[in-house]
Structure 1
Amino acid sequence: MLRGKNGRSKVAVSIILFLIIFFVVVIAHEFGHFIVAKKNGIRVVEFFIGMGPSLFSFQRGETKYSLKLFPIGGACMFEGEDGLAAEKGEISERAFPNAPVWARFATIFAGPLFNFLIAYLMALILVSVCGITTSEIQGVNEGSKAQEAGLQAGDVITGMNGKRIHLGGEVTLISQLNTKGESLSVTYERDGKENTVVIEPTYDEESQRYYMGILAGGYLKCNVPQTFQYAFYTMKFYVETTFQSLKMLVTGQLSRNDVSGPVGLVKVVDEVYDSAKAYGAVEVLLNMINISLLLSVNLGIMNLLPLPALDGGRLVFLLVEALRGKPIPPEKEGMVHLAGMVALMLLMVLVFFNDITKFF
């Protein structure tokens, strides 16, 4: 634990940076719900950031805006959303249940969509300022399987196991996830021609992982068209990384210690800030944007999972309604989402205490 005035100051800075990141990512998500609801004439009762008791709130027009105590999410509450008022006939024409099914679908889907849009904007900033790491091979280890396969420095890897490759990070990710040492089909470009070879990775006892024996990662300062192109590839890479992490969590390849909540994220921000601050404020800012990009993608994907209480679960009910031509009874849908919300709250509590025991 950090001690002393300097230590406390550094932690305070890290907490402030985390809160800024949290507000940007969550506000983007909830604003997506909000703006599409307004466009479809749906009344927004409350727009709030955080959970728990309100720190302050104000009313503007028909909507109440609130900031709550705990930085663990937010919500955009629509009139009649819980279905209870609808049963009693106490809702207006602008209530959520009275909107056309596809208007409700668009409203719910807009939250995750705005997370991806803000993530793409962040990727544009990063790529335009920093450039990108390409999949060009910088070196081949002597006696490695890659050298035996004929790979050379200057070759550009364009595909691995049938997947198109655009970034050096994609090469690293596929290599690191190859925990069983399976053969890798590598397509590379040399002198304008593509070739494909099969590499049998070699196991390294010291690092306990398999290696092809290459160093991939050239540098490209992007022009304007390339900036838009590689910003998309960068966001796509974060999406793939998130899905891989979820898969590894479900299959037991990751443990609960690999999952972080707000406390864990503050520590991550603190470590990144500590490493970047020596290079100046711009470097700190770019690193915080990078963390925000990852978290925005994570929030978008997590909310699209077809689980009760999440946006994805609500979208499933709306799809069923569109297909069958009538809604699921509100009381049944409400029970499902309530159960999901309770499970989600319990998970948040477990993650919080896991962070506490892990870091303190």
Structure 2
Amino acid sequence: MPTGGIKVAVSIILFLVIFFVVVISHEFGHFILAKKNGIRVVEFFVGMGPSLFSFQKGDTKYSLKLFPIGGACMFEGEDGLAAEKGEMSEKAFPNAPVWARFATIFAGPLFNFLLAYLMALILVSVCGITTSEVQAVNEGSKAEEAGLRAGDVLTKMNGKRIHLGGEVTLISQLNTKGESLTVTYRRDGQENTVVIDPAYDETTGRYYMGIVAGGYLKCNVPQTFQYAFYTMKFYAEATIQSLKMLVTGQLSRDDVSGPVGLVKVVDEVYDSAKAYGAIEVLLNMINIALLLSVNLGIMNLLPLPALDGGRLVFLLVEAIRGKPIPPEKEGMVHLAGMVALMLLMVLVFFNDITKFF
């Protein structure tokens, strides 16, 4: 096989490994809580479309499907059809207490965040972190006018507590209108607050404070647990901000990627990291998996039909009103959501094709 073909094959394999780890973590969350609450799992599958292979163990069928675009944990009676026919057993999903069902659905996104935190622990323990310490202040910049200097540690921006250099960069990049930034920094044990009006750069089309932030910290054990949480939180905030920008039109469809786009990203990262050895490749793949796991957790919590967040909304309504929404009505809502989700996946797939090929 030509060298280029080998590289692409490796990238596809790396993507599939990341995909399986992230999706299986999500579905395992549903699975383990369902078992804990006495709910029968009819099928546990990864991927979508026709099954490549499957096997039965106990009450559950385990399947691997053709297309790497998701997965599911199917519970007995969750579609409402068995309830209408009176064919549900005592282990059916609708027969479980409402909070047991809520916990079972919520466990999927929760396990994604737990996986992300575990991966952040690995990255922080091996690589350390980039702090919010100012490394340099550009001469004549707005930051210099405000009195900032190298060695200052930024602790808040616009009232938001920050811990990482990436947070400083993110807040600066999101300030697309050049609004004033209220910056709190620590110097010699004292905290000071200044207001900086970023200057516009014609070349890049962005507003800059005029600082370089990002000191290095090799974390001890307590700091590793602490900064792993900050790292996961940063990825979550970046994901939420990206969703807001997508909804408000600040991001276009070209900024959205599906499986093909993710393979391309993995390929580019692998190509950059392989020269530094297998460990560097592994750490970069863990970083991608961390981001995807956080993304999957947040996306599934959106209160949209067919997603976990949509199901949680129905369960909350049931808990408040003391009785469930009629299964056929809930089923119609989720079916419509699933159709819309499938159409979106198709559009993203073709967008990837036109974008990269």
- Give your verdict on TM over 0.5: yes
Rounded to whole Å, the distance in 1 between the matches of 2:219 and 2:93 is 45
Q: Deviations over 1:96-150 (max 9, x none)?
A: 0000000000000000000000000000000000000000000000000100110
Query: 1:245 Cα deviation (Å)?
Result: 0.2
Q: Give yes or no for the alignment of 1:253 onto 2:250.
A: yes
1:3 aligns with: none
Q: Deviations over 1:230-272 (max 9, x none)?
A: 0000000000000000000000000000000000000000000
RMSD (Å), alpha carbons: 0.3
Rounded to whole Å, the distance in 1 between the matches of 2:326 and 2:199 is 58
2:108 aligns with: 111
SS in 2 for 1:341: helix
Q: How high is the TM-score relative to the length of structure 2?
A: 0.99
SS in 2 for 1:80: coil
Q: Deviations over 1:187-215 (max 9, x none)?
A: 00000000000001010111110000000
Q: Deviations over 1:4-45 (max 9, x none)?
A: xx1111000000000000000000000000000000000000
SS in 2 for 1:154: coil
Query: 1:55 Cα deviation (Å)?
Result: 0.2
Q: Deviations over 1:299-344 (max 9, x none)?
A: 0000000000000000000000000000000000000000000000
Query: 1:87 Cα deviation (Å)?
Result: 1.2
Q: Deviations over 1:213-232 (max 9, x none)?
A: 00000000000000000000
Query: 1:352 Cα deviation (Å)?
Result: 0.2
Query: 1:53 Cα deviation (Å)?
Result: 0.1
Query: 1:95 Cα deviation (Å)?
Result: 0.3
Q: Give yes or no for the alignment of 1:305 onto 2:302.
A: yes
SS in 1 for 2:135: strand
2:59 aligns with: 62
Q: Deviations over 1:36-75 (max 9, x none)?
A: 0000000000000000000000001110000000000000
Q: Of residues 341, 345, 350 in structure 1, which corresponds to 2:338? A: 341
Flag structure 2 segments of 5+ consecutive residues without an equivalent: none
Rounded to whole Å, the distance in 1 between the matches of 2:175 and 2:91 is 53
SS in 2 for 1:75: strand
Query: 1:286 Cα deviation (Å)?
Result: 0.2
Q: After TM superposition, which residue ranges in structure 1, 4 or more long, deviate above 3 angstroms?
A: none
1:209 aligns with: 206
Q: How high is the TM-score relative to the length of structure 1?
A: 0.98
Q: Deviations over 1:145-170 (max 9, x none)?
A: 10011001000000000000100000
Rounded to whole Å, the distance in 2 between the matches of 1:95 and 1:165 is 46
SS in 1 for 2:194: strand
Flag structure 1 segments of 5+ consecutive residues without an equivalent: 1-5
SS in 2 for 1:71: strand
